[in-house]
Every structure is written in C-alpha cells, then in structure tokens.
Chains A and B, each alone.
Chain A
Amino acid sequence: EAQVTQNPRYLITVTGKKLTVTCSQNMNHEYMSWYRQDPGLGLRQIYYSMNVEVTDKGDVPEGYKVSRKEKRNFPLILESPSPNQTSLYFCASSPRTYSGANVLTFGAGSRLTVL
C-alpha cells in the first residue's frame, strides 16, 4: 500500500532531550515536507526537500533540523525540544511532476508533548 509512515505516533518527552521523528514513504516521491498543526494556527510548513540532499526552510523552521540522505526518508530532528514545540506533526510527500498539479500524501501524524 502506498503510504507515508511516521514514527513515533505519540511521544512525551522533557525539555532538552534530543528526539527524532522519522518519516518514510514507499512511493518513490521526490518531494517531502514537514508540517506542524496547532490550535488556532492551522497547518504550517517547517521544512521541505525537493530531492536527496536538497532541503530548505518552510515558514516555521526554528528549533528543527532535517536531513534527506535517502529518497524515501526525511527525519525531523529536535535537537533541544522546548514546550512550544508541543504540537501535532505531519510528514507529506509528492511526486515531482511537470504538469502543474502535485498531490501531497500525508502521514497519520505524530503527537509530540514536551514537558
């Protein structure tokens, strides 16, 4: 089944303890992206990647890192998590198309709580 898989789905951690949220897609998509969703603020893009070794900042990149060493994986790294990073996180991927229309497939989400 074509899908975007995120892990962990739920995590409670403490301030300053480094963590990684993994994202993997099995659709050979070039484009991958991370979003966070907060009440009243909607979904906001954190980072994105157009292809292997190519990453760029989205709208809210502060406090996050990403890497794209393989096409299928796009982990989100919180080097020193803080309570304001408590959020619901979504990974998404899309094929690179030249027709002008790109459909994003989203993962199920990772709910992170930083105490």
Chain B
Amino acid sequence: DAKTTQPTSMDCAEGRAANLPCNHSTISGNEYVYWYRQIHSQGPQYIIHGLKNNETNEMASLIITEDRKSSTLILPHATLRDTAVYYCIVRGGSNYKLTFGKGTLLTVNP
C-alpha cells in the first residue's frame, strides 16, 4: 500500500471548516483513499473513502486531486467533538488490512 504523509497537528475554530491534507504521491490505480479518526483511545471510526471522484457523506467531504497524489478531508462545520487524530490511509482493493501512520491531531478550539 502507498505511503501517506500528513501534518502532525492542526487547529481549527469551532464552527469553521477543517481541511486536513494528505499526500500519497505513490498511489497506484486500484488503491483507495480512506479516512478514519480516533477520539482519545476509542476505536478508530470510519469517515469516508474514495477512488477518483470527490465524495461526500453526512460526516465529511473528500477531495482527491486529478492526479490522485493528494487529497483533503473537509469537516464543514467543526465542533469540539471533532477533536481527534485523523488518519489518511491508502489501501489496495484486495487488501483488507489497514496500515495506520501517525495521523493528524486536529484540535477544535472554542
């Protein structure tokens, strides 16, 4: 699976959009981009995933660049409860295993 690079930490004001970047320059054609988050030692929680097209669900939006070498997770209206470590993971379709990096600690401030 392709390696990902994320900033170590980010801050966001409550009510603002949080934009979390991820670089995955070695991604291959059949690999998906997944985002999970972990709130203080709880089980990782699935947020969203995508292959080529931008995706949106009730939690977030995922913007993938046309060359697929980077992506951005967008939380449109961050709340204090969105404070968590966010993991960007690239994984091939036939591989069920998730390889977690260090992720980005997002702190939402009042």
Whether A48 contacts B97 by the Cβ 8 Å rule is yes
Say whether A102 faces chain B, with CB atoms less than 8 Å apart.
yes
The residues of B that contact A42 with a CB separation of less than 8 Å are 100-102
What are 21 A-B residue pairs whose CB atoms fall within 8 Å in the complex?
A4-B43, A42-B101, A45-B97, A48-B96, A48-B97, A88-B41, A92-B98, A94-B96, A99-B93, A100-B94, A102-B91, A102-B93, A103-B34, A103-B46, A104-B46, A104-B98, A106-B44, A106-B45, A107-B43, A108-B42, A109-B42
Q: Which residues of B contact A31 (CB under 8 A)?
A: 96
Determine the interface band of chain B, counting residues with CB < 8 A from chain A. 20 to 34
Which chain A residues lie closer than 8 Å to B43 at the CB level?
Answer: 4, 90, 92, 106-109
- Contact present for A33 and B51 (CB under 8 Å): no
Binding site for A on B (CB under 8 A): 30, 32, 34, 36, 41-46, 49, 51, 91-94, 96-98, 100-102
**A residues lining the B interface (CB < 8 Å):** 4, 31, 33, 37, 42-43, 45, 48, 50, 58, 88, 90, 92, 94, 99-109, 111
| A101→B97 contact, CB < 8 A | no
Given the contacts A42-B100, A42-B102, A88-B41, A101 and B93 also touching, CB distance less than 8 Å: yes
Mostly helix, strand, loop or mixed at chain A's interface?
Answer: strand
Measured between beta carbons, the chain B residues less than 8 angstroms from A102 are: 91, 93, 96
Chain A residues with CB under 8 A of B45: 106
* Distance of A107 Cα from B44 Cα, bound (Å): 8
Q: Please, which residues of chain B bring their CB within 8 A of the CB of A101?
A: 32, 49, 51, 93
Ranked 7 nearest A-B pairs via Cβ:
A100-B93, A106-B43, A43-B100, A42-B100, A106-B44, A31-B96, A103-B46
Find the residue from A4, A33, A101 having the highest chain B CB count within 10 A.
A101
A100 close to B32 (CB less than 8 A): yes
User: What residues on B are CB-neighbors of A48 within 8 Å?
Assistant: 96-97
With a 10 A CB-CB cut-off, give which of A37, A50, A88, A104 has the most chain B CB atoms: A104
Q: Give the distance in Å from the alpha carbon of A55 to the alpha carbon of B51 in the complex.
A: 29
Cα of A37 to Cα of B43 in the assembled complex, Å: 10
